[in-house]
Structure 1
Amino acid sequence: MPRTVDGQITMEKTPSYFVTNDAPQRIHSMAKDTKLIVVVRNPVTRAISDYTQTLSKKPEIPTFEVLAFKNRTLGLIDASWSALRIGIYALHLESWMQYFPLSQMLFVSGEHLISNPAEELAKVQEFLGLRRIITDKHFHFNKTKGFPCLKKPEDTGAPRCLGKSKGRIHPKIDPDVIRRLRKFYKPFNAMFYQMTGEDFQWEKEELEG
Protein backbone atom coordinates (compact mmCIF):
# COMPACT_ATOMS: atom_id res chain seq x y z
CA MET A 1 0.00 0.00 0.00
CA PRO A 2 1.55 3.38 -0.97
CA ARG A 3 2.16 6.00 1.69
CA THR A 4 -0.56 8.60 2.07
CA VAL A 5 0.51 12.17 2.70
CA ASP A 6 -1.58 15.05 4.03
CA GLY A 7 -4.39 15.94 1.64
CA GLN A 8 -4.48 12.49 0.04
CA ILE A 9 -6.70 9.44 0.43
CA THR A 10 -5.33 6.06 -0.59
CA MET A 11 -7.99 3.68 -1.89
CA GLU A 12 -7.82 0.01 -2.84
CA LYS A 13 -10.58 -2.34 -3.89
CA THR A 14 -11.41 -5.94 -4.67
CA PRO A 15 -14.69 -7.88 -4.38
CA SER A 16 -12.93 -10.69 -2.50
CA TYR A 17 -11.94 -8.70 0.61
CA PHE A 18 -15.41 -8.81 2.16
CA VAL A 19 -15.65 -12.61 1.92
CA THR A 20 -12.02 -13.52 2.72
CA ASN A 21 -11.75 -14.87 6.27
CA ASP A 22 -8.40 -13.39 7.22
CA ALA A 23 -8.88 -10.02 5.50
CA PRO A 24 -10.41 -8.18 8.51
CA GLN A 25 -7.54 -9.06 10.84
CA ARG A 26 -4.84 -8.33 8.25
CA ILE A 27 -6.30 -4.96 7.29
CA HIS A 28 -6.82 -4.02 10.94
CA SER A 29 -3.20 -4.88 11.79
CA MET A 30 -2.02 -2.72 8.88
CA ALA A 31 -4.28 0.30 9.49
CA LYS A 32 -6.98 0.03 12.14
CA ASP A 33 -8.48 3.42 11.19
CA THR A 34 -9.22 2.25 7.63
CA LYS A 35 -12.64 3.21 6.32
CA LEU A 36 -14.49 0.40 4.58
CA ILE A 37 -16.99 0.79 1.74
CA VAL A 38 -19.10 -2.27 0.90
CA VAL A 39 -21.35 -2.34 -2.16
CA VAL A 40 -24.21 -4.83 -1.75
CA ARG A 41 -27.18 -5.78 -3.90
CA ASN A 42 -30.07 -8.23 -3.76
CA PRO A 43 -28.23 -11.53 -3.16
CA VAL A 44 -30.42 -13.45 -5.61
CA THR A 45 -29.68 -10.98 -8.42
CA ARG A 46 -26.03 -10.93 -7.35
CA ALA A 47 -25.80 -14.74 -7.61
CA ILE A 48 -27.33 -14.78 -11.10
CA SER A 49 -24.96 -11.99 -12.18
CA ASP A 50 -22.02 -13.95 -10.79
CA TYR A 51 -23.14 -17.05 -12.70
CA THR A 52 -23.59 -15.02 -15.89
CA GLN A 53 -20.02 -13.75 -15.60
CA THR A 54 -18.66 -17.29 -15.14
CA LEU A 55 -20.83 -18.63 -17.96
CA SER A 56 -19.32 -16.08 -20.36
CA LYS A 57 -15.89 -17.60 -19.69
CA LYS A 58 -16.90 -21.24 -19.23
CA PRO A 59 -19.97 -21.98 -21.39
CA GLU A 60 -19.69 -25.69 -20.55
CA ILE A 61 -20.57 -25.28 -16.86
CA PRO A 62 -23.84 -26.78 -15.51
CA THR A 63 -26.98 -24.67 -15.39
CA PHE A 64 -27.62 -22.25 -12.54
CA GLU A 65 -30.46 -24.50 -11.34
CA VAL A 66 -28.14 -27.50 -11.04
CA LEU A 67 -25.42 -25.60 -9.19
CA ALA A 68 -27.82 -23.93 -6.75
CA PHE A 69 -28.96 -27.15 -5.06
CA LYS A 70 -27.43 -30.03 -3.18
CA ASN A 71 -30.75 -31.79 -3.65
CA ARG A 72 -33.41 -29.94 -5.60
CA THR A 73 -36.13 -32.48 -4.80
CA LEU A 74 -35.64 -31.83 -1.10
CA GLY A 75 -35.08 -28.14 -1.68
CA LEU A 76 -31.57 -28.20 -0.17
CA ILE A 77 -29.70 -25.07 -1.28
CA ASP A 78 -25.96 -25.50 -1.84
CA ALA A 79 -24.66 -22.61 0.29
CA SER A 80 -21.08 -23.78 -0.33
CA TRP A 81 -21.33 -22.62 -3.96
CA SER A 82 -19.46 -19.31 -3.96
CA ALA A 83 -22.08 -17.54 -6.09
CA LEU A 84 -24.62 -18.15 -3.30
CA ARG A 85 -22.33 -17.98 -0.27
CA ILE A 86 -21.12 -14.45 -1.08
CA GLY A 87 -24.71 -13.19 -0.74
CA ILE A 88 -24.95 -14.29 2.91
CA TYR A 89 -23.79 -10.80 3.88
CA ALA A 90 -24.53 -11.15 7.61
CA LEU A 91 -22.08 -14.04 7.85
CA HIS A 92 -19.24 -12.04 6.34
CA LEU A 93 -20.05 -8.84 8.21
CA GLU A 94 -19.83 -10.70 11.49
CA SER A 95 -16.12 -11.28 10.85
CA TRP A 96 -15.48 -7.62 10.06
CA MET A 97 -17.33 -6.38 13.15
CA GLN A 98 -14.81 -8.24 15.32
CA TYR A 99 -12.19 -5.71 14.19
CA PHE A 100 -13.97 -2.61 12.90
CA PRO A 101 -16.86 -0.53 14.33
CA LEU A 102 -19.84 0.22 12.11
CA SER A 103 -18.84 3.89 12.17
CA GLN A 104 -15.92 2.95 9.88
CA MET A 105 -18.15 1.11 7.41
CA LEU A 106 -20.40 2.43 4.67
CA PHE A 107 -22.84 0.09 2.92
CA VAL A 108 -23.72 1.23 -0.58
CA SER A 109 -26.85 -0.04 -2.31
CA GLY A 110 -25.92 -1.59 -5.63
CA GLU A 111 -29.46 -0.99 -6.88
CA HIS A 112 -29.36 2.71 -6.00
CA LEU A 113 -25.85 3.00 -7.43
CA ILE A 114 -27.44 2.19 -10.79
CA SER A 115 -30.74 4.09 -10.44
CA ASN A 116 -29.37 7.13 -8.59
CA PRO A 117 -25.56 7.11 -8.66
CA ALA A 118 -25.19 10.76 -7.61
CA GLU A 119 -27.14 10.18 -4.38
CA GLU A 120 -25.09 7.10 -3.43
CA LEU A 121 -21.80 8.82 -4.25
CA ALA A 122 -22.86 11.81 -2.17
CA LYS A 123 -22.93 9.41 0.80
CA VAL A 124 -19.49 8.10 -0.15
CA GLN A 125 -18.02 11.59 -0.39
CA GLU A 126 -19.48 12.55 2.99
CA PHE A 127 -18.25 9.30 4.57
CA LEU A 128 -14.72 10.01 3.34
CA GLY A 129 -14.86 13.61 4.52
CA LEU A 130 -14.67 15.00 0.99
CA ARG A 131 -16.29 18.07 -0.44
CA ARG A 132 -19.20 17.02 -2.64
CA ILE A 133 -17.98 17.45 -6.19
CA ILE A 134 -19.61 14.53 -8.03
CA THR A 135 -23.28 15.28 -8.74
CA ASP A 136 -25.99 14.13 -11.15
CA LYS A 137 -24.34 16.31 -13.82
CA HIS A 138 -21.58 13.72 -14.02
CA PHE A 139 -23.82 10.86 -15.15
CA HIS A 140 -25.68 9.78 -18.25
CA PHE A 141 -27.87 6.66 -18.18
CA ASN A 142 -27.14 4.16 -20.93
CA LYS A 143 -30.46 2.44 -21.70
CA THR A 144 -28.75 -0.27 -23.75
CA LYS A 145 -26.40 -1.30 -20.96
CA GLY A 146 -28.81 -0.51 -18.16
CA PHE A 147 -26.04 1.30 -16.28
CA PRO A 148 -25.06 4.95 -15.81
CA CYS A 149 -22.06 6.30 -17.73
CA LEU A 150 -19.59 8.91 -16.50
CA LYS A 151 -19.21 12.28 -18.13
CA LYS A 152 -17.59 15.62 -17.41
CA PRO A 153 -20.18 18.43 -17.39
CA GLU A 154 -17.95 20.61 -19.56
CA ASP A 155 -17.04 17.78 -21.96
CA THR A 156 -19.03 17.55 -25.20
CA GLY A 157 -17.59 14.13 -26.06
CA ALA A 158 -19.19 10.73 -25.54
CA PRO A 159 -19.66 9.58 -21.91
CA ARG A 160 -17.42 6.81 -20.56
CA CYS A 161 -19.53 3.69 -20.18
CA LEU A 162 -18.85 0.28 -18.67
CA GLY A 163 -17.05 -2.31 -20.77
CA LYS A 164 -18.32 -5.47 -22.43
CA SER A 165 -18.09 -7.49 -19.21
CA LYS A 166 -20.84 -5.37 -17.60
CA GLY A 167 -24.53 -5.30 -18.44
CA ARG A 168 -24.71 -8.80 -19.86
CA ILE A 169 -28.18 -10.25 -20.34
CA HIS A 170 -28.90 -12.77 -17.57
CA PRO A 171 -30.04 -16.26 -18.51
CA LYS A 172 -33.66 -17.12 -17.76
CA ILE A 173 -33.82 -18.92 -14.41
CA ASP A 174 -36.63 -21.26 -13.35
CA PRO A 175 -39.07 -19.12 -11.28
CA ASP A 176 -39.32 -21.90 -8.68
CA VAL A 177 -35.57 -21.69 -8.11
CA ILE A 178 -35.81 -17.92 -7.72
CA ARG A 179 -38.60 -18.37 -5.18
CA ARG A 180 -36.60 -20.90 -3.17
CA LEU A 181 -33.52 -18.68 -3.15
CA ARG A 182 -35.53 -15.69 -1.94
CA LYS A 183 -36.85 -17.82 0.90
CA PHE A 184 -33.31 -19.02 1.69
CA TYR A 185 -31.87 -15.51 1.85
CA LYS A 186 -34.76 -13.85 3.70
CA PRO A 187 -33.56 -14.56 7.28
CA PHE A 188 -29.98 -13.65 6.39
CA ASN A 189 -31.16 -10.40 4.82
CA ALA A 190 -33.16 -9.57 7.96
CA MET A 191 -30.07 -10.23 10.08
CA PHE A 192 -27.98 -8.01 7.80
CA TYR A 193 -30.52 -5.18 8.03
CA GLN A 194 -30.44 -5.44 11.82
CA MET A 195 -26.64 -5.50 11.99
CA THR A 196 -26.18 -2.48 9.72
CA GLY A 197 -29.26 -0.53 10.81
CA GLU A 198 -30.22 -0.20 7.14
CA ASP A 199 -33.16 -1.76 5.29
CA PHE A 200 -32.19 -2.37 1.67
CA GLN A 201 -35.78 -3.46 0.89
CA TRP A 202 -34.79 -6.41 -1.26
CA GLU A 203 -37.98 -8.22 -0.33
CA LYS A 204 -40.07 -5.25 -1.51
CA GLU A 205 -38.10 -5.19 -4.75
CA GLU A 206 -38.84 -8.88 -5.28
CA LEU A 207 -42.56 -8.41 -4.70
CA GLU A 208 -42.65 -5.54 -7.19
CA GLY A 209 -40.67 -7.60 -9.67
Structure 2
Amino acid sequence: MQEDRIEAGNLMPRTLESQITMEKTPSYFVTKEAPRRLFALSRHTKLIVVVRDPVTRAVSDYTQTLSKQPGLPSFQSLTFRNSTTGLIDTSWSAVRIGIYAKHLENWLRYFPLSKFLFVSGERLVTDPAGEMGRVQDFLGLKRVVTDKHFYFNQTKGFPCLKKPEGSTRPRCLGKSKGRPHPQISPEVLLRLREFYRPFNMKFYQMTGHDFGWD
Protein backbone atom coordinates (compact mmCIF):
# COMPACT_ATOMS: atom_id res chain seq x y z
CA MET A 1 0.00 0.00 0.00
CA GLN A 2 1.27 3.46 -0.87
CA GLU A 3 0.81 5.55 2.26
CA ASP A 4 0.83 8.88 0.45
CA ARG A 5 -1.93 7.60 -1.81
CA ILE A 6 -4.20 6.91 1.12
CA GLU A 7 -3.28 9.71 3.49
CA ALA A 8 -2.89 12.58 1.07
CA GLY A 9 -4.89 11.33 -1.89
CA ASN A 10 -2.95 13.59 -4.25
CA LEU A 11 -2.01 10.68 -6.51
CA MET A 12 -5.63 9.75 -7.20
CA PRO A 13 -7.07 11.00 -10.50
CA ARG A 14 -9.57 13.83 -10.41
CA THR A 15 -13.16 12.66 -10.65
CA LEU A 16 -16.02 14.55 -12.28
CA GLU A 17 -19.58 14.29 -11.00
CA SER A 18 -20.43 11.93 -13.85
CA GLN A 19 -17.48 9.63 -13.14
CA ILE A 20 -16.52 6.97 -10.61
CA THR A 21 -12.90 6.49 -9.61
CA MET A 22 -12.04 2.94 -8.58
CA GLU A 23 -8.96 1.34 -7.09
CA LYS A 24 -8.37 -2.30 -6.26
CA THR A 25 -5.90 -4.22 -4.16
CA PRO A 26 -5.97 -7.41 -2.08
CA SER A 27 -4.13 -5.62 0.71
CA TYR A 28 -6.52 -2.95 2.01
CA PHE A 29 -9.06 -5.26 3.65
CA VAL A 30 -6.43 -7.02 5.77
CA THR A 31 -4.20 -4.00 6.52
CA LYS A 32 -4.89 -2.66 10.01
CA GLU A 33 -4.18 1.00 9.19
CA ALA A 34 -6.14 1.10 5.92
CA PRO A 35 -9.64 1.94 7.28
CA ARG A 36 -8.42 4.96 9.22
CA ARG A 37 -6.43 6.29 6.29
CA LEU A 38 -9.24 5.79 3.81
CA PHE A 39 -11.77 7.38 6.18
CA ALA A 40 -9.49 10.43 6.46
CA LEU A 41 -9.37 10.62 2.67
CA SER A 42 -13.09 10.12 2.02
CA ARG A 43 -15.71 8.81 4.43
CA HIS A 44 -18.16 8.52 1.52
CA THR A 45 -16.16 5.84 -0.30
CA LYS A 46 -18.04 2.69 -1.28
CA LEU A 47 -16.20 -0.53 -0.53
CA ILE A 48 -16.44 -3.75 -2.55
CA VAL A 49 -14.97 -6.84 -0.88
CA VAL A 50 -14.59 -10.08 -2.85
CA VAL A 51 -14.42 -13.12 -0.58
CA ARG A 52 -14.25 -16.86 -1.16
CA ASP A 53 -14.13 -20.01 0.96
CA PRO A 54 -11.15 -19.29 3.24
CA VAL A 55 -9.90 -22.88 2.99
CA THR A 56 -9.86 -22.78 -0.81
CA ARG A 57 -8.38 -19.30 -0.62
CA ALA A 58 -5.51 -20.52 1.60
CA VAL A 59 -4.70 -23.40 -0.76
CA SER A 60 -4.83 -21.02 -3.73
CA ASP A 61 -2.53 -18.58 -1.92
CA TYR A 62 -0.09 -21.42 -1.21
CA THR A 63 -0.24 -22.59 -4.84
CA GLN A 64 0.57 -19.09 -6.08
CA THR A 65 3.55 -18.78 -3.71
CA LEU A 66 4.76 -22.30 -4.52
CA SER A 67 4.92 -21.40 -8.22
CA LYS A 68 7.42 -18.66 -7.34
CA GLN A 69 9.21 -20.56 -4.55
CA PRO A 70 9.47 -24.25 -5.53
CA GLY A 71 11.32 -25.09 -2.30
CA LEU A 72 8.46 -23.87 -0.10
CA PRO A 73 7.64 -26.14 2.89
CA SER A 74 4.50 -28.26 2.61
CA PHE A 75 1.06 -26.72 3.09
CA GLN A 76 0.56 -28.88 6.17
CA SER A 77 3.77 -27.76 7.88
CA LEU A 78 2.88 -24.10 7.29
CA THR A 79 -0.72 -24.51 8.43
CA PHE A 80 0.01 -25.95 11.86
CA ARG A 81 1.93 -24.27 14.63
CA ASN A 82 1.87 -27.63 16.37
CA SER A 83 1.01 -30.64 14.20
CA THR A 84 0.52 -32.89 17.24
CA THR A 85 -2.18 -30.74 18.82
CA GLY A 86 -3.50 -29.44 15.51
CA LEU A 87 -3.00 -25.80 16.56
CA ILE A 88 -3.42 -23.57 13.49
CA ASP A 89 -0.68 -21.01 12.81
CA THR A 90 -2.59 -17.76 12.37
CA SER A 91 0.67 -15.87 11.80
CA TRP A 92 0.87 -17.43 8.32
CA SER A 93 -0.69 -14.90 5.97
CA ALA A 94 -2.45 -17.56 3.88
CA VAL A 95 -4.42 -18.53 6.99
CA ARG A 96 -4.75 -15.08 8.58
CA ILE A 97 -6.30 -13.41 5.53
CA GLY A 98 -9.26 -15.80 5.61
CA ILE A 99 -10.37 -14.70 9.10
CA TYR A 100 -12.73 -12.24 7.45
CA ALA A 101 -14.76 -11.39 10.56
CA LYS A 102 -11.74 -9.94 12.34
CA HIS A 103 -10.78 -7.79 9.35
CA LEU A 104 -14.34 -6.56 8.95
CA GLU A 105 -14.51 -5.58 12.62
CA ASN A 106 -11.59 -3.24 11.99
CA TRP A 107 -13.33 -1.61 9.02
CA LEU A 108 -16.66 -1.21 10.82
CA ARG A 109 -14.99 1.07 13.34
CA TYR A 110 -14.88 3.66 10.55
CA PHE A 111 -17.45 2.73 7.88
CA PRO A 112 -21.08 1.58 8.30
CA LEU A 113 -22.11 -1.74 6.80
CA SER A 114 -24.16 0.13 4.18
CA LYS A 115 -20.91 1.25 2.55
CA PHE A 116 -19.91 -2.36 1.81
CA LEU A 117 -20.81 -4.80 -0.92
CA PHE A 118 -19.59 -8.34 -0.31
CA VAL A 119 -19.11 -10.27 -3.53
CA SER A 120 -18.96 -14.06 -3.56
CA GLY A 121 -15.84 -15.39 -5.29
CA GLU A 122 -17.67 -18.66 -5.94
CA ARG A 123 -20.59 -16.91 -7.62
CA LEU A 124 -18.18 -14.87 -9.74
CA VAL A 125 -17.32 -18.23 -11.30
CA THR A 126 -20.80 -19.79 -11.46
CA ASP A 127 -22.80 -16.61 -12.15
CA PRO A 128 -20.47 -13.74 -13.12
CA ALA A 129 -23.25 -11.67 -14.67
CA GLY A 130 -25.36 -11.94 -11.51
CA GLU A 131 -22.56 -10.77 -9.25
CA MET A 132 -21.61 -7.99 -11.66
CA GLY A 133 -25.25 -6.94 -11.68
CA ARG A 134 -25.07 -6.51 -7.90
CA VAL A 135 -21.88 -4.47 -8.28
CA GLN A 136 -23.48 -2.17 -10.84
CA ASP A 137 -26.56 -1.70 -8.64
CA PHE A 138 -24.37 -0.92 -5.62
CA LEU A 139 -22.49 1.74 -7.58
CA GLY A 140 -25.71 3.25 -8.93
CA LEU A 141 -24.90 2.27 -12.51
CA LYS A 142 -27.11 1.04 -15.28
CA ARG A 143 -26.79 -2.73 -15.78
CA VAL A 144 -24.66 -2.75 -18.91
CA VAL A 145 -22.57 -5.85 -18.17
CA THR A 146 -24.84 -8.90 -18.53
CA ASP A 147 -24.60 -12.63 -19.20
CA LYS A 148 -24.08 -11.96 -22.90
CA HIS A 149 -20.60 -10.67 -22.06
CA PHE A 150 -19.34 -13.95 -20.52
CA TYR A 151 -18.56 -17.50 -21.51
CA PHE A 152 -17.09 -20.31 -19.41
CA ASN A 153 -13.56 -21.40 -20.28
CA GLN A 154 -13.40 -25.14 -19.58
CA THR A 155 -9.60 -25.20 -19.64
CA LYS A 156 -9.16 -22.50 -17.01
CA GLY A 157 -12.26 -23.32 -15.04
CA PHE A 158 -13.20 -19.63 -15.00
CA PRO A 159 -15.53 -17.40 -17.00
CA CYS A 160 -13.95 -15.15 -19.60
CA LEU A 161 -15.15 -12.00 -21.35
CA LYS A 162 -16.32 -12.49 -24.90
CA LYS A 163 -14.43 -10.80 -27.69
CA PRO A 164 -15.00 -7.06 -27.61
CA GLU A 165 -15.74 -5.48 -30.96
CA GLY A 166 -12.52 -5.08 -32.93
CA SER A 167 -10.59 -7.58 -30.78
CA THR A 168 -9.12 -10.82 -32.09
CA ARG A 169 -9.46 -12.85 -28.89
CA PRO A 170 -11.49 -12.97 -25.68
CA ARG A 171 -10.16 -11.59 -22.41
CA CYS A 172 -9.44 -14.17 -19.73
CA LEU A 173 -7.68 -14.21 -16.39
CA GLY A 174 -3.89 -14.49 -16.54
CA LYS A 175 -1.79 -17.65 -16.60
CA SER A 176 -1.52 -17.60 -12.80
CA LYS A 177 -5.29 -18.21 -12.52
CA GLY A 178 -6.75 -21.68 -12.85
CA ARG A 179 -3.53 -23.60 -12.21
CA PRO A 180 -3.97 -27.02 -10.54
CA HIS A 181 -3.76 -27.06 -6.75
CA PRO A 182 -1.38 -29.48 -5.00
CA GLN A 183 -2.80 -32.52 -3.24
CA ILE A 184 -3.59 -31.63 0.37
CA SER A 185 -4.44 -34.22 3.01
CA PRO A 186 -8.22 -34.35 3.64
CA GLU A 187 -7.47 -34.37 7.39
CA VAL A 188 -5.57 -31.09 7.07
CA LEU A 189 -8.39 -29.49 5.09
CA LEU A 190 -10.96 -30.74 7.62
CA ARG A 191 -8.99 -29.30 10.54
CA LEU A 192 -8.65 -25.98 8.74
CA ARG A 193 -12.37 -25.94 7.93
CA GLU A 194 -13.17 -26.55 11.60
CA PHE A 195 -10.87 -23.69 12.54
CA TYR A 196 -12.62 -21.26 10.19
CA ARG A 197 -16.19 -22.32 11.01
CA PRO A 198 -16.82 -19.97 13.97
CA PHE A 199 -15.22 -17.07 12.10
CA ASN A 200 -17.36 -17.84 9.05
CA MET A 201 -20.51 -17.94 11.16
CA LYS A 202 -19.67 -14.57 12.68
CA PHE A 203 -18.92 -13.15 9.22
CA TYR A 204 -22.31 -14.37 7.97
CA GLN A 205 -24.00 -12.64 10.92
CA MET A 206 -22.07 -9.42 10.43
CA THR A 207 -22.80 -9.18 6.70
CA GLY A 208 -26.29 -10.68 6.74
CA HIS A 209 -25.23 -13.11 4.03
CA ASP A 210 -24.58 -16.86 4.22
CA PHE A 211 -21.84 -17.67 1.71
CA GLY A 212 -22.33 -21.42 2.17
CA TRP A 213 -18.73 -22.29 2.98
CA ASP A 214 -19.74 -24.86 5.57
**TM tier, shorter chain?**
over 0.9
Normalising by structure 2, we get a TM-score of: 0.93
CA distance, structure 1, for counterparts of residue 75 and residue 16 of structure 2: 47
Aligned partners of 1:152 and 1:118: how far apart in 2? 16
> Normalising by the residue count of structure 1, what TM-score does the alignment of the two structures yield?
0.95
1:127-166 → structure 2 map (5 Å cutoff) = 127-152=138-163, 157-166=168-177
Q: What's the CA shift string for 1:179-202, capped at 9, x where partnerless?
A: 000000000000000000000011
Q: Is the 8 A contact 2:163 2:169 kept in 1?
A: no
Which segment drifts farther, 177-186 or 143-152? 143-152
Question: 1:124: which partner in 2?
Answer: 135
In the alignment, which of 11, 14, 17 is matched to residue 3 of structure 1?
Answer: 14
Unaligned runs of at least 5 residues, structure 2: 1-11
Q: Does the 8 A contact of 2:164 with 2:170 survive in 1?
A: no
| 1:114 matched to 2:125 | yes
Deviation at 1:67, TM superposition (A): 0.2
In structure 2, C-alpha distance between the alignment counterparts of 1:163 and 1:26, rounded to whole Å: 31
Q: Which aligned pairs between 1:165-176 and structure 2 lie closer than 5 A?
A: 165-176=176-187
User: Which of these residues, 83, 97, 121, is aligned with residue 72 of structure 1?
Assistant: 83
- Stretch deviating more after TM superposition (71-80 or 32-41): 71-80
1:158 deviation in Å?
2.8
Aligned to 2:8: none
SS in 2 for 1:202: coil
* 1:1-209 matched pairs, under 5 angstroms: 1-152=12-163, 157-203=168-214
Quick one: which amino acid aligns to residue 45 of structure 1?
A: T
In the TM superposition, residue 155 of structure 1 has moved relative to its aligned partner by: 6.2
Residues of 1 paired with 2:111 and 2:166: CA distance?
40
In 2, the alpha carbon distance for the partners of 1:49 and 1:61 equals 14
Query: How many pairs align?
Result: 203
CA contact (8 A) 2:32 2:106 kept: yes
Quick one: distance in 2 between partners of 1:82 and 1:163? 23
Structure 2 counterpart of 1:132, one-letter code: R
Residue 56 of structure 1 aligns to a residue whose secondary structure is helix
Give, in whole Å, the separation in 1 of the partners of 2:100 and 2:121.
13
In structure 1, list runs of 5 or more residues that go unmatched: 204-209
Instruction: Judge conservation of contact 1:65–1:177 (CA < 8 Å) in 2.
Output: yes
Mapped to 2, the partners of 1:151 and 1:166 lie a distance apart of: 18
Once residues 121 and 88 of structure 2 are traced to their aligned partners in structure 1, the CA distance between those partners, rounded to angstroms, is: 24
- Write the deviation string for residues 106-133 of structure 1: whole angstroms up to 9, x where unpaired: 0000000011000000000000000000
> Which 4+ runs in 1 deviate beyond 3 A?
152-157
